[in-house]
Amino acid sequence: MSNSLPHDQFLDASGLECPMPLLKTKMALKALAPAQVLYVLATDAGSWRDIRKYVDLSSHELLDAKVVDDAYQFWIRKGV
């Protein structure tokens, strides 16, 4: 798995089914300081839509998102 962007925390949500990847992403972001970056790895196809939609509706910033070998990767900078 390529984790090409620097990040402060890694969340492995592999094998979890909807809505767990999104819920764990929200909890992990809550624990970070503003401007820190969370790298999320998920395998549930719904997370591609759910996590991106959540970030769009929040103060967080999606730095990058990729699909590699049936895995979904997200780099999210925590907003204020």
Q: Which residues are part of the catalytic machinery?
A: 18
| 38: exposed, middle or buried (Cβ count in 10 Å: 0-12, 13-18, 19+) | buried
**Which strands form 37-42's sheet, in the order they lie side by side?**
9-13, 37-42, 71-77, 61-68
